[in-house]
Structure 1
Amino acid sequence: PDVVGAMATGELLVVYQPPTPPTTIVCFDMKGQVLWQHELHMRERHVTCSRVVGGADGCVYYVMHGDSAVYRYSPKDDAARTVLTATNGIQLPTTLAVDDDGRVVVSRSELLTLAGSTPVTTEIDFFLPDRANK
C-alpha cells in the first residue's frame, strides 16, 4: 500500500496506487475484511493520492497531488466530490488530520510574496466540512 489512514471509528483505509490506473481506496474492518472500495478516476498520469483520513461524518477525505484538490468520498452514497481546490499558486495541503470532534483539519502553507520582499510562509487551517456548510 502507498498511503494508509483510518476512519474515525477505527477502520483501516489503504490506498493502492499501481503503475497503471485505477488507484483504489480500500476500507478494512478490524478483522481484515473489506468493507468497501472506491476507485479514483484520474485523468492524468501525474495525479497521485498523498493523504487519506476519515471524518466523524463517516466520509473519507483525501488529497490529490497533481490535481491540487481535496476530495470527500461518502461510502454510503458512493459519491465523491471536491471540497477544496488549491488555486492562484497556493500550495496543496501539507497535513490532513482529524481533531477531537471528528472534524477533518486541513493545514497548508501558503507562500505570500510581498512587493520587493522575500516570500513569507503562513499556515492556514480549514475544517471540513467547513462551518459555512452547516
Structure 2
Amino acid sequence: MARRRICGRVIISSAYKEKGILLWEKRKEKKRNDVEMKKKKKKEKKKKKKKKKKKKKKKKKKKEEEEEEEEEEEEEEEEEEEEEEEEEEDLLTAGRAKKEMPSMADTEAITFPPQVVGTTSP
C-alpha cells in the first residue's frame, strides 16, 4: 500500500485516493439510485392500487346498473301482467253486462210507433 507518514499524518498516494473517492461516489450514487427506485416502486404500487380501486368501482357501478335494469324489467312485466288481468276482468264484467242488458242489435230491432207530441184528441 502506498502510504507514507509525514509528521504523524498518514498520506495516501493520489492513485489510491482517487480510487477511494470513486468508490465513495459509487456508493453514494448507488444509495441515491436505491432511494429513487424505492420512490418509483412506491409510486407504481400506488398507481396499481388506484387503478385496482377504480376498476373495482367501475365493476360495482356496472353491477348496480344491471340490477336497476333487472328491477325495471320486473316492474314492467308486473305492470303488463296487471294490465292483462284488468283486461280479462273487464271482458268478464262486459260479458256479464251483456247477459243482463240487451245488446244494441236487440234494441235496434225493437221499434216504437212515432208519437205526435202536442196534439189533442177530439
TM-score by structure 1 length? 0.13
Higher relative CO (Cα under 8 Å, sequence separation at least 6) belongs to 1
Instruction: Output the TM-score relative to the length of structure 2.
Output: 0.14
Greater helix share, 1 or 2? 2
